[in-house]
Structure 1
Amino acid sequence: MEEILIVSNYYPPEKGAAANRIEQLALKLKQNNYKVSVVCPLGNYPKGILFPEYQGKFSVTEQRDEITVKRLWIYPSVSKNLLVRILSILSFSLSLFFYLLFKKTPKKVIVQSPPLLLSFISVLVLSWKNKKVILNISDLWPLAAVELNALKENSFSHKSSLFFERFIYNKATLILGQSNEIISHIHTNFPEKKCYLYRNFPDHKTYQLELESLEKQPIKIFYAGLLGIAQGVLELCEKIELNDLNIELHIFGDGAEKKTIEALISMQKQQKIFFHGMMERKKLHETLKTLDIAIVPLKTRIYGSVPSKIFEYGSLGFPILYFGGGEGETIVEDNRIGWVIPVENYNELNKKLISISDLSKFELDGMKKEIFERTQETFNLDYQMSYLMKNDVF
């Protein structure tokens, strides 16, 4: 059985799209007869506090679904203080550097990027050891950081990040990109680099539509995910107009905007927005079965980024109300899985909500059935993995 290692900054029991995506990749490789191991930090995301089972430990080795997970020391933090955040990143970077340098590693290693510093350190050490480095890029950094105003263009940090970015693209054996925009960006600097599209398709193992529309209930739109600045869920709650519509908004998740969102909802005159907190993925999917439409917002159009929620909820049969720009718009439109609203255009969003409010549950059920059947073919992780295997990616 061939061995393969995955280097990631996130892994379950941590929550969120990044941890789910890497776990899904690990499980699919195991199903394809690889002996899979993962190296990641001690569990701490999204709160930036070590989970109780990892507190007081320097490293932990555990088995999750027959996958060996090696967790290394980190000084966790989600502090807004830049120096504290840098210290946190450097702590795991140091642990990872020595682990990869001195531990025996398989011939093939998948390195997740971002975080850029961690992928730089991984690619640096693995290139010294002549490993096959498969760079898995989910977002373009530092470009995305500049677009989000998290990094000032032409600053020292920006120039350092550009150096890291070019280094990892150059040294990687081949690259997986979650969007065509990512692959185009890489080819502008390295036109000969082997790149493959790797969408963040889920593997729900759901073979029939399980959504249950409730008659005589309002149309229930939901957001499930990180409540950070980039997602703009707080602004969505402030500017969405639901008072005269047959629509409710339900929010699931955790993040920097959580408390402000809760405070805003508590001041509602009409109870149209509901907050449910963070749920474990399986419980969340059970809860969502009686809801109707998934909204996918982004505060800024980020080049290269495609929210995995499009695939996650589209493949369950939910119509997608996409409010994030970029390549995600093309995916929603080409696959006919919902509606597209330009980023930050709340006038257009509220107009669209008026027409959605007039939909009957019968019409919504028809949409769900069509979307579910269509996405079983187009958002199919097994087909994607089969293609990559045939091309000797792994």
Structure 2
Amino acid sequence: MSRKDILIISNYFPPETGAAPNRIYSLAENLTKNGYNTTVLCPLPNYPFGSIFKEYKGSFIKKTNEDDLTVYRLWLWANNSKNKFIRLFSMLSFSLTLFFFLLFKKTPKKVIIQCSPLFVGFFAVLVSKLKGKKVILNVSDLWPLAGLEMGILNKGFYYSILEKIEVFNYKNSHLIMGQSEEILTHISKKMPDKNTFLYRNYPDFKTPIIQGTKSSEKIKIVYAGLLGIAQGIYKICQEIELPKNIEFHIYGNGPEAELITKIAQEKDNIFYHNSISREKLHEELQEYQLTLIPLKNRIYGSVPSKIFEYSRLGLPILYLSEGEGSDLVVKNKLGYSIASNDFKALNEFLESLNNKSISLPLKTDIIDTVERNFDLDIQFKKFLQSISIF
């Protein structure tokens, strides 16, 4: 059987770390395993530090072959500024580089476009439309709605432009993948006749064999991920009241890293470990009893990938938000859920955990649930069927 060609366009890709690069790499890898010649188009690596990685500096376009994937990395003006205009300019720099690359370079007729960022999605959809490509839009966040709910955007002229771009992207796609039921509901309201597919962010690694929990006087809670505005880890560090027997450990990097470093030096039971590789993190997470997955504001459509990643490791979850993510944690008995910014309830939970008036689900039970309900292979086979028809 002859292999088929497909292109993936994404703003994030390894060696960058985090949920988005992991998800896109898993998608590319599985397409290749299932008979596709897969090409990936992404920026020069810069996330989450806001500067191009040392080994890629000085390049405008860098082509590599990695794990049977052809990868083109394009220039962008990288930064990690909190200023929304500077961040917008950075996004547009990659969008324009991407647009002209796609315009003049021969690429596969079938293309998967990661959206968000919204402008990257727009320019990729626009040039794909001009060149008659078959577009599969992968919607992981509902911009501009997510920006409005996070307080980054306000309704007005600029917001209305973003809404028009959003609809343009949906309208000119042949299939839309959504990472949550809420995303698909939102899209169906705007485009009732559009073909959609629920594609959860299930990780692609084997579940570990649980050897048994080591006895310890300490209860160790962990957060691992981006230290950004949406997660609100610094605010949690300020408000959390840790009983003497409970520790809070933080892994990751991002805009709040310096503030978290400082508060970890001031508070005895808070520890900051910076960033480590995904493989090393998975090893270290086995030493923890509970993971924290927070969203500073409830964002419609958002279901953090950490729910699927860390439950696959058997780690009980304390979810600090509402919506579909909360429902998944509670329904599947993966842990507990508390509303965003309800620090009183959070501290009461910690005290109950400390005095053993509540107990955490067993790691083996969580892994059993994950293997029954969150199976990437089953989901991917259905996805392949959905994209084979055009």
Partner of 1:254: 253
Instruction: Please give the alpha-carbon distance, in whole angstroms, between the structure 2 residues aligned to 1:152 and 1:222.
Output: 34
SS in structure 1 of the partner of residue 319 of structure 2:
strand
1:360 positional shift: 10
2:230 is the counterpart of 1:230: yes
Partner of 2:120: 118
SS in structure 1 of the partner of residue 252 of structure 2:
strand
Partner of 1:200: 201
2:12 is the counterpart of 1:13: no
Instruction: Please give the alpha-carbon distance, in whole angstroms, between the structure 1 residues aligned to 2:31 and 2:238.
Output: 43
Instruction: Please give the alpha-carbon distance, in whole angstroms, between the structure 1 residues aligned to 2:149 and 2:329.
Output: 23
Partner of 2:271: 274
Partner of 1:337: 334
Partner of 1:22: 24
1:212 positional shift: 5.2
Deviations 1:341-372, CA, capped at 9 Å, x for gaps? 111111111122222224499x65x6111001
2:221 is the counterpart of 1:221: yes
Partner of 1:76: 78
Residues 293, 318 of structure 1: 8 Å contact kept: yes
Instruction: Please give the alpha-carbon distance, in whole angstroms, between the structure 2 residues aligned to 1:67 and 1:313.
Output: 27
Instruction: Please give the alpha-carbon distance, in whole angstroms, between the structure 2 residues aligned to 1:392 and 1:169.
Output: 16
How many equivalent pairs are there? 387
> Structure 1 residues 360, 33: closer, same or farther in 2, change over 3 A?
farther
Opposite residue 374 of structure 1, the aligned amino acid is T
Opposite residue 218 of structure 2, the aligned amino acid is P
SS in structure 2 of the partner of residue 24 of structure 1:
helix
TM-score (norm 1): 0.95
1:60 positional shift: 0.3
Instruction: Please give the alpha-carbon distance, in whole angstroms, between the structure 1 residues aligned to 2:211 and 2:169.
Output: 43
Instruction: Please give the alpha-carbon distance, in whole angstroms, between the structure 2 residues aligned to 1:160 and 1:226.
Output: 29
RMSD over aligned CA atoms reads: 1.7
Partner of 2:262: 263
Instruction: Please give the alpha-carbon distance, in whole angstroms, between the structure 2 residues aligned to 1:86 and 1:290.
Output: 40
SS in structure 2 of the partner of residue 76 of structure 1:
coil
Instruction: Please give the alpha-carbon distance, in whole angstroms, between the structure 2 residues aligned to 1:178 and 1:393.
Output: 20
Identity within the alignment, %: 48
Partner of 2:97: 95
Instruction: Please give the alpha-carbon distance, in whole angstroms, between the structure 2 residues aligned to 1:81 and 1:305.
Output: 23
> Structure 1 residues 357, 249: closer, same or farther in 2, change over 3 A?
same
Partner of 1:374: 369
2:185 is the counterpart of 1:184: yes
> Structure 1 residues 204, 359: closer, same or farther in 2, change over 3 A?
farther
Instruction: Please give the alpha-carbon distance, in whole angstroms, between the structure 2 residues aligned to 1:329 and 1:84.
Output: 33
SS in structure 2 of the partner of residue 106 of structure 1:
coil
Residues 210, 364 of structure 2: 8 Å contact kept: no
> Structure 1 residues 13, 211: closer, same or farther in 2, change over 3 A?
farther
Residues 213, 291 of structure 1: 8 Å contact kept: no
> Structure 1 residues 280, 191: closer, same or farther in 2, change over 3 A?
same
**Which residue of the other structure, out of 311, 316, 319, is the alignment partner of 1:319?**
316
Partner of 1:44: 46
Opposite residue 168 of structure 1, the aligned amino acid is N
> Structure 1 residues 255, 356: closer, same or farther in 2, change over 3 A?
same
Partner of 1:292: 289
Partner of 2:136: 134
Partner of 1:31: 33
Partner of 1:174: 175
1:104 positional shift: 1.1
Deviations 1:183-238, CA, capped at 9 Å, x for gaps? 110111110100110000001123x4346522133111100000011101011111
Residues 209, 372 of structure 1: 8 Å contact kept: no
Instruction: Please give the alpha-carbon distance, in whole angstroms, between the structure 2 residues aligned to 1:211 and 1:280.
Output: 23
2:312 is the counterpart of 1:310: no
Opposite residue 391 of structure 1, the aligned amino acid is S
2:106 is the counterpart of 1:104: yes
Instruction: Please give the alpha-carbon distance, in whole angstroms, between the structure 2 residues aligned to 1:211 and 1:159.
Output: 54
Unaligned runs of 5+ residues in structure 2 are none
Instruction: Please give the alpha-carbon distance, in whole angstroms, between the structure 2 residues aligned to 1:255 and 1:212.
Output: 33
> Structure 1 residues 316, 225: closer, same or farther in 2, change over 3 A?
same
SS in structure 2 of the partner of residue 226 of structure 1:
coil
Deviations 1:220-271, CA, capped at 9 Å, x for gaps? 1100000011101011111111134x32111000011111111111112xx2
Instruction: Please give the alpha-carbon distance, in whole angstroms, between the structure 2 residues aligned to 1:272 and 1:211.
Output: 27
Unaligned runs of 5+ residues in structure 1 are none
> Structure 1 residues 211, 48: closer, same or farther in 2, change over 3 A?
farther
Opposite residue 243 of structure 2, the aligned amino acid is N
Instruction: Please give the alpha-carbon distance, in whole angstroms, between the structure 1 residues aligned to 2:357 and 2:25.
Output: 38
Residues 211, 317 of structure 1: 8 Å contact kept: no
